[in-house]
């Protein structure tokens, strides 16, 4: 399972990780970080993590970072979620599906057998009573990324690189203006 490869990479980088269902068919893996780098540097790091996952899997029919949907076969390792205008379903939010699925935080040992359809408005209360909140304390584990760039064979992070005008939110989106956002202020 690709999520376990992501966990392996993040573990090797010393980054805490928290899986959760998207509330649809996907899986999100959250890593709490300190906001000490500007957005372009965080995105560059996320892209390198995704590419390392793709390299380890070794088969783009299984895991891919390819943007163009028509060119994809495998599971999309979406580093693009690390964009300013992206949102994800909050943990425990109920999604607009016929069965009222919930975005459910998971324990890592649950990931291989997790069935997104098992987490619904009807089942979440019992689940929380049984396993608690797997994301409890997550934000107390924030880590910095700057010291981890070289381990992914990236140039060191530049904490002063606030110009994100060349970073579109999506490869086909127009570039943003040179204005700084909240993270670049």
State the residue for tokens 């805490």: 16
Q: Does the predicted TM-score (pTM) go above 0.95?
A: no
User: Tens digits of per-residue pLDDT, 116-148?
Assistant: 999 999 999 999 999 999 999 999 999 999 999
State the residue for tokens 């993040």: 10
pLDDT for 161 equals 67
The gap from C-alpha 152 to its chain's centroid, in whole angstroms, comes to 17
Candidates 3.90.76.10, 3.40.50.11890, 3.30.70.100, 3.90.920.10; CATH matching 2-155: 3.90.920.10
Which stretches of the chain drop beneath a pLDDT of 70?
Answer: 61, 63, 67, 161-185
Question: Would you list the domain boundaries of the chain?
Answer: 2-155
pLDDT for 162 equals 58
């Amino acid at each position: 399972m690709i999520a376990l490869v992501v966990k392996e990479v993040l573990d090797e980088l010393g980054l805490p990780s928290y899986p959760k269902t998207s509330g649809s068919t996907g899986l999100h893996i959250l890593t709490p970080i300190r906001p000490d780098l500007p957005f372009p540097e965080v995105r560059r790091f996320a892209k390198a993590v995704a590419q390392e996952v793709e390299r380890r899997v070794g088969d783009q029919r299984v895991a891919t970072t390819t943007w163009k949907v028509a060119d994809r076969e495998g599971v999309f390792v979406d580093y693009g979620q690390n964009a300013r205008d992206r949102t994800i379903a909050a943990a425990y939010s109920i999604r607009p599906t016929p069965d009222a699925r919930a975005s459910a935080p998971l324990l890592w040992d649950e990931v291989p057998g997790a069935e997104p359809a098992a987490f619904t408005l009807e089942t979440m209360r019992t689940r929380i009573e049984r396993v608690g909140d797997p994301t409890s304390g997550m934000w107390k584990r924030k880590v910095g990324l700057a010291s981890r760039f070289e381990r992914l064979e990236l140039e060191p992070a530049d904490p002063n690189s606030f110009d994100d005008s060349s970073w579109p939110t999506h490869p086909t989106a127009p570039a943003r203006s040179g204005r700084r956002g909240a993270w670049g202020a």
